[in-house]
C-alpha cells in the first residue's frame, strides 16, 4: 500500500466484516471491523474514497420458505454505524452489490468517504467466482485492495477473481493481510528453535495436511483434543468411547512414522479426564489415555499430560497453537486448554514467539483472558491453516505471484 498513490482515487477493498450478530442484529464482537481500520485510515488520510465489499454469514444456507435470501438478517447495513463511529468519517451504504444503484452511489462518493456495498453472498456468483460479477465490482474502482485474510483461501469473485481486472500496479494487500503474512512467515521461514506446535480439536482428518507439513518444520508436536485418540488407537491402546476416526487409524500410524524419520517428537497426552457421556462433569476421573474404561470417553487432557505440555512449551522459542486440548466448552473439561493458554503466554513473556491460529483456540485464549499475552492471533483460522499447509491461496495469488501453487 505504501507505494500506491490514493489521492482522488476510488479504492475497492475486500474486507472481512463477517461479524457475529445477536438476535436483534446488534454486533456482538467487532474485532473484524477493527482489524480493517489501519487500511481504511490510510486511504482516507491520503485523500482516496473507499468502496467496501464483504460477506456476512451464510445467507445462501438460510433462505426463507420461498427460497429467497433473508436480506435484512444478513445485510451489511448492520455494520454501518459501528464503522462510522470507529473511523469518524462519512460511511454510506447501498443495498445492492451490483447494478445501476451501486454505480450511482459509487460515482457520488467524495474523497475521504466510504461506501459499503451489500453482502457479496446475496449473489451466487460470488462463491462461483463468476467473472462478470467480479468485473462489475472492478469497474467501480481504480485500485483493488484485498484485506480479507479470512477468505484468502477462497477463489470467490470479490476475493480473487476481481483482481484479474486490475493492472499489477493497481492492486495490493491491505495492512491486515500483510500482518498475517509477516506472522505466518515467522513460522515458515527460519523459525527460532525449539519450534513447538500444539494441535488439538476434534478430528485428525481436519489437520492431516498441517501435521504432514509441520513434521518437517517443528521439533515437537503436542497433540491433544479428540484427535489424540485416533493416535492411541493406532498404537493399540484402549480408548473406550473416545472420539476415534476409524478410517484415519492407518494414517495416524503413517504420520507417526513420518515424524520418527524427521526426528520430530509427537507427544500424546499420557492421561485423560473422562466421562461416561458427552456432558460436563464437575470432578472428572483421570485415566491413562491408552487404558480408558470401555464405558468412558476422554474429554480433556489429564494432569500428567498438562505437566508435560507445560514443560515442553516453557522451553520453546517458536509456538504455533491450533485447536483446544479438550471439550473446553464444558467447564469441567476446560482445564487442559486453559493450562496450555497460560503456558503459551508464560513462554511468550520469556521471549518465545507465539501464533494462535484457528477459531476455537482463539476463543480459548480469549476465554482465558490472555489474548494480549501472546505474539499474534490470526483473524483467519481456515486461511492460516491453508497457508501453513502450503495449500492454494487464490486471494493472495491473484495479487502476488509468489503465492501461486
Ligand atoms: P476443531 O474445530 O477441530 O479445532 O475442534 C474444536 C472442537 O473440538 C471443540 O468444539 C471441542 O469441544 C472439540 N473437542 C476437543 N477435544 C475433544 C474430545 N476429546 N472429544 C470430543 N470433542 C473434542
Is it the case that residue 358 has pLDDT exceeding 80? no
Cβ–Cβ < 8 Å for 228, 268: yes
Among protein residues, the one with the nearest Cα to ligand 1's atom 6 is: 201
Q: How far is the CA of 302 from the centre of ligand 1 (A)?
A: 15
Q: Which atom of ligand 1 is nearest to the CA of 361?
A: 4
The DSSP symbol for 331 reads G
Residue 381's pLDDT band (cuts 50, 70, 90): confident
The residue behind cell 527460519 is 190
Residue-level pLDDT at 208: 86
Q: Write down the pTM of the prediction.
A: 0.90
Mean predicted confidence (pLDDT) in 50-56: 98
Cβ–Cβ < 8 Å for 144, 173: no
Mean predicted confidence (pLDDT) in 3-9: 95
Residue-level pLDDT at 404: 87
Mean predicted confidence (pLDDT) in 304-331: 97
The continuous run of DSSP H or E covering 33 comes out as helix 31-45
Q: 201 CB under 6 A from ligand 1? A: yes
Tell me which residues are annotated as active site. Answer: 32, 203, 359, 382
Among protein residues, the one with the nearest Cα to ligand 1's atom 21 is: 226
Q: For the structural domain made of 181-389, what CATH number should be given?
A: 3.40.50.1260
- 350, exposed or middle or buried, with CB in 10 Å at 0-12, 13-18, 19+? exposed
Q: 360 CB under 6 A from ligand 1? A: yes
| 3-state SS, residue 269 | coil
Q: Do domains 10-173 and 181-389 have the same CATH topology?
A: yes
Residue-level pLDDT at 344: 97
Residue-level pLDDT at 299: 98
Q: How far is the CA of 203 from the centre of ligand 1 (A)?
A: 7
Residue-level pLDDT at 2: 80
Q: 226 CB under 6 A from ligand 1? A: yes
Q: Which of 205, 222, 226 to mutate to test the pocket of ligand 1 (most atoms within 8 A of CB)?
A: 226
Peptide bond into 196 cis (omega under 30): no
Q: 357 CB under 6 A from ligand 1? A: no
Mean predicted confidence (pLDDT) in 318-345: 96
Q: How far is the CA of 324 from the centre of ligand 1 (A)?
A: 6
In tens, the pLDDT along 156-200 reads: 999 999 999 999 999 999 999 999 999 999 999 999 999 999 999
The continuous run of DSSP H or E covering 287 comes out as strand 286-288
Q: Which atom of ligand 1 is nearest to the CA of 207?
A: 3
Residue-level pLDDT at 379: 86
Residue 371's pLDDT band (cuts 50, 70, 90): very high
| Domain chopping of the chain, boundaries | 10-173, 181-389
In tens, the pLDDT along 230-275 reads: 999 999 999 999 999 999 999 999 999 999 999 999 999 999 999 9
Q: How far is the CA of 226 from the centre of ligand 1 (A)?
A: 6
Is it the case that residue 354 has pLDDT exceeding 90? yes
Task: Give CA 220 to chain center in angstroms.
Answer: 23
> Architecture of 10-173 per CATH?
3-Layer(aba) Sandwich (3.40)
Amino acid at each position: 500500500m505504501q507505494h500506491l498513490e490514493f489521492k482522488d482515487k476510488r479504492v475497492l477493498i475486500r474486507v472481512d466484516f463477517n461479524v457475529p450478530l445477536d438476535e436483534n442484529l446488534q454486533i456482538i464482537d467487532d474485532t473484524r471491523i477493527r482489524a480493517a481500520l489501519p487500511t481504511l485510515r490510510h486511504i482516507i488520510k491520503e485523500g482516496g474514497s473507499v468502496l467496501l465489499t464483504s460477506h456476512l454469514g451464510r445467507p445462501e444456507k438460510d433462505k426463507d420458505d420461498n427460497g429467497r435470501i433473508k436480506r435484512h438478517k444478513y445485510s451489511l447495513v448492520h455494520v454501518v454505524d459501528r464503522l462510522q463511529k470507529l473511523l469518524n468519517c462519512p460511511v454510506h451504504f447501498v443495498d445492492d452489490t451490483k447494478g445501476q444503484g451501486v454505480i450511482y452511489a459509487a460515482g457520488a462518493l467524495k474523497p475521504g468517504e466510504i461506501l459499503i456495498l451489500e453482502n457479496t453472498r446475496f449473489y451466487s456468483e460470488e462463491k462461483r467466482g463468476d467473472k462478470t460479477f467480479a468485473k462489475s465490482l472492478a469497474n467501480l474502482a481504480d485500485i483493488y485492495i484485498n484485506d480479507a485474510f479470512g477468505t484468502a483461501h477462497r477463489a470467490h469473485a470479490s476475493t480473487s477473481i476481481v483482481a484479474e481486472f486490475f493492472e499489477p500496479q493497481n492492486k495490493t494487500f491491505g495492512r491486515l493481510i500483510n500482518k498475517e503474512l509477516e506472522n505466518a512467515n515467522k513460522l515458515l521461514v527460519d523459525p527460532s528453535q525449539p519450534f513447538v506446535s500444539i494441535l488439538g480439536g476434534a478430528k485428525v482428518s481436519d489437520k492431516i495436511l498441517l501435521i504432514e507439513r509441520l513434521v518437517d518444520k517443528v521439533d515437537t508436536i503436542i497433540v491433544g483434543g479428540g484427535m489424540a485418540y485416533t493416535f492411541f488407537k493406532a498404537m493399540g491402546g484402549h480408548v473406550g468411547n473416545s472420539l476415534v476416526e476409524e478410517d484415519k487409524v492407518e494414517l495416524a500410524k503413517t504420520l507417526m512414522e513420518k515424524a520418527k524419520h524427521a526426528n520430530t517428537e509427537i507427544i500424546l497426552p499420557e492421561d485423560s479426564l473422562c466421562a461416561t457421556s458427552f456432558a460436563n462433569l464437575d470432578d472428572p476421573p483421570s485415566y491413562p489415555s491408552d487404558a480408558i474404561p470401555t464405558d468412558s470417553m476422554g474429554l480433556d487432557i489429564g494432569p500428567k499430560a498438562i505437566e508435560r505440555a507445560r514443560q515442553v512449551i516453557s522451553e520453546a522459542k517458536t509456538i504455533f497453537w491450533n485447536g483446544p486440548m479438550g471439550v473446553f466448552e464444558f467447564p469441567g473439561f476446560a482445564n487442559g486448554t486453559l493450562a496450555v493458554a497460560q503456558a503459551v503466554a508464560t513462554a511468550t513473556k520469556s521471549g518465545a514467539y507465539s501464533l494462535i491460529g484457528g477459531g476455537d483456540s482463539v476463543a480459548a485464549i480469549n476465554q482465558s483472558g490472555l489474548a494480549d499475552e501472546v505474539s499474534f492471533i490470526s483473524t483467519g483460522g481456515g486461511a492460516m491453516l491453508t497457508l501453513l499447509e502450503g495449500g492454494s491461496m487464490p486471494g493472495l495469488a491473484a495479487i502476488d505471484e509468489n503465492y501461486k501453487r
